[in-house]
Amino acid sequence: MHSNSSSGSRPSLNSLSSKLSFQAVALGIAIIPFNSLNAEKSHQYNAVVTTNVLTVVAVENPTTVFKDGQFLHGFGYDLARNYAQSLNVRLDFKTVPDNATALKWVAQGKANIAMTTANLATIENKHLVSFSASCGDQSSLSKNGLNPQLNWVLQQADDPLTLTASGFVCQSKQLGTTQQLASFYNRNVVKPEAWSTIQKDLNQRLPIYKASFKRSASKYNLDWHLLAAIGYQESYLKPTSVSPTGVRGLMMLTNSTAQAMGVSNRSDPTQSIQGGAKYFDLMLDQFSSVPYPDRNWYALVAYNMGPGAVNQIQKRIKAQGKNPNQWVNLYDYLQRNQAQNGRYKQAVQYVTRIRTYLEHLKTSSRIDI
């Protein structure tokens, strides 16, 4: 897991609270019944500022977080990461077996925030407060196959941490960030009826190339599941695949890329996997300024449409006053402009499908891996 930081000084407790109170009123948001703030009272916000760490706890599930080796990703995780970045603190994201444990951690002060799908009555019985992770926009989650009942849970309604967190979540909704994250983590990318074919393909072909994926991944310190997911998206793990544009092989390398990666025979699966791994590692290096796990998504877009195209989009994002190294901004740009550029639409589908295959490979017990 990586830490996030942003430039600029942290606003004072009272000014930040007043600012977000005004934002909530301006947006017409009835988040939770806040009482007047008491700066003398012990607050979780003070602890976060003092330690420079925001601790968030959740149950691992498709809506909150997915463990991807040494990294984490997911709708809930990304939203919490963005909030920590807005506070200029490091995110410490923990997973626990169940909602009861997550709520207990918040009640005991072991975590500042819990992301949970526990029902509201249970939360209230624990004398905790909560607000919707989508700021009431539950349709954005449900239409993407995510649990619309996801809430952020904190200790006290009058804690500035509760105020800033709820203000941030609703601002994310207003800016469209919530909708874009939900779209990227869409659980319906692959149609249900297609999974039986995918499972059959993986059961038949993946064991043949598993050793090659593992060797190449080890050489470049990559996750072999991710390489396999790329291979399945590129060719369905068929080493004889050829596209109308001339790319070929299991990892579908162009002739120029293959030559640059030292691949003499693109149809040789071992060479293709080695070349694909080397090229993906090169793409990761190209975007070393992007923190993980976002760097994986940037590298995948670059693998698909070239690093130069991604660099140009980053310049346009920066010109809009947005962070060019934040995945949600790159994804938003690709989504908004895909009607004018077919390559953008292809890139969106490419990355979301590979993410889906990666999660399937990591969690499926039906594949002999």
Furthest-apart CA pair in the chain: how many Å? 70
pLDDT category at 142 given cuts 50, 70, 90 is very high
Task: Report the pLDDT value the prediction gives residue 306, as an integer from 0 to 100.
Answer: 96
Q: Which positions are annotated as active-site residues?
A: 234
Q: Class assignment of domain 13-184?
A: alpha beta
Task: Report the pLDDT value the prediction gives residue 177, as an integer from 0 to 100.
Answer: 95
User: What's the chain look like in SS3?
Assistant: CCCCCCCCCCCCHHHHHHHHHHHHHHCCCCCCCCCCCCCCCCCHHHHHHHHCEEEEEEECECCCEEEECCEEECHHHHHHHHHHHHHCCEEEEEEECCHHHHHHHHHHCCCCEEEECCCHHHHHHCCCEEEECCCCCHHHHHCCCCCCCCEEEECCCCCHHHHHHHHHHHHHHHHCHHHHHHHHCCCCCCCHHHHHHHHHHHHHHHHHHHHHHHHHHHHCCCCHHHHHHHHHHHHCCCCCCECCCCCECCCCECHHHHHHCCCCCCCCHHHHHHHHHHHHHHHHHHCCCCCCCHHHHHHHHHHHHCHHHHHHHHHHHHHCCCCCCCHHHHHHHHHHCCCCCHHHHHHHHHHHHHHHHHHHHHHCCCCCC
* 273-314 pLDDT, tens digit each: 999 999 999 999 999 999 999 999 999 999 999 999 999 999
* Percent residues over pLDDT 70 in the chain: 87
Task: Report the pLDDT value the prediction gives residue 9, as an integer from 0 to 100.
Answer: 37
Task: Report the pLDDT value the prediction gives residue 22, as an integer from 0 to 100.
Answer: 37
Averaged over 4-23, what is the pLDDT?
A: 37
Averaged over 44-48, what is the pLDDT?
A: 94
Task: Report the pLDDT value the prediction gives residue 10, as an integer from 0 to 100.
Answer: 35
pLDDT category at 261 given cuts 50, 70, 90 is very high
Task: Give me the sheet containing 90-96, strands edge to edge.
Answer: 90-96, 53-59, 113-116, 151-154, 129-132
Cα Rg, the chain, nearest whole Å? 22
Number of other residues whose CB lies within 10 A of the CB of residue 296 = 24
Joined tokens for residue 39: 């700066």
* 176-226 pLDDT, tens digit each: 999 999 999 999 999 999 999 999 999 999 999 999 999 999 999 999 999
Whether pLDDT at 28 is above 90: no
Averaged over 145-156, what is the pLDDT?
A: 97
Q: In whole angstroms, how far apart are CA 14 and each of 39, 88, 167?
A: 8, 17, 14
Q: Class assignment of domain 192-363?
A: mainly alpha
Rounded mean pLDDT of the chain? 89
Domain with CATH 1.10.530.10 in the chain: 192-363
Domain with CATH 3.40.190.10 in the chain: 13-184
